[in-house]
Amino acid sequence: MSPASNDPNERFSDRYAASAAAALIEAELEVLGTDYQANGYTTRAEADEIGDRLDLRSGSRLLDLGSGCGFPGLYLAQRHGCSVTTLDPVASGASASARRSDRDGIGDRHLAVIGSGGDLPFRRHAFDAVVHVDVMC
Ligand SMILES: C[S@@+](CC[C@H](N)C(=O)[O-])C[C@H]1O[C@@H](n2cnc3c(N)ncnc32)[C@H](O)[C@@H]1O
d(CA 102, CA 99): 5
96: in domain: yes
Which pLDDT score is estimated for 6? 85
d(CA 67, CA 71): 6
Domain total of the chain: 1
2: in domain: no
Range of the domain at 45: 8-131
- Mapped onto helix, strand or coil, the DSSP state of residue 61 is strand
Q: What is the DSSP string of 29-44?
A: HHHTS--S---SS--H
The protein residue with its alpha carbon nearest to ligand 1, atom 11, reads 66
107: in domain: yes
Pocket residue to mutate for ligand 1, from 64, 88, 95, 134, most atoms within 8 A of Cβ? 88
113: in domain: yes
- pLDDT confidence tier of residue 2, bands split at 50, 70 and 90: low
What average pLDDT does this structure show over 23-35? 95
What average pLDDT does this structure show over 6-12? 91
Q: 78 or 19, which is more confident?
A: 78
Ligand 1 atom closest to residue 64's alpha carbon, by position in its atom list: 6
46: in domain: yes
Ligand 1 atom closest to residue 42's alpha carbon, by position in its atom list: 8
> Omega of the bond prior to 3 within 30 degrees of 0, cis?
no
Ligand 1 atom closest to residue 41's alpha carbon, by position in its atom list: 8
- pLDDT, mean over the chain: 94
- Mapped onto helix, strand or coil, the DSSP state of residue 85 is strand
- pLDDT confidence tier of residue 3, bands split at 50, 70 and 90: low
Q: Which residues line ligand 1 (CB under 6 A)?
A: 8, 12, 38-40, 42, 65-68, 71, 88-90, 93, 116-118, 133-135, 137
What average pLDDT does this structure show over 26-48? 96
* Residue 72 burial (10 A CB sphere; 0-12, 13-18, 19+): buried
Which pLDDT score is estimated for 83? 98
10's CB contacts (< 8 A; 6+ apart) are none
Least confident stretch, 3-12, 109-118, 127-136: 3-12
CATH of the domain at 127: 3.40.50.150
The answer to whether 134 and 72 are in contact (CB under 8 A) is no
Q: What is the pLDDT of residues 111-121, one digit of tens each?
A: 999 999 999 99
Predicted TM-score of the model (pTM):
0.94
Closest residue by Cα to residue 94 from 121, 61, 68: 68
What average pLDDT does this structure show over 70-98? 98
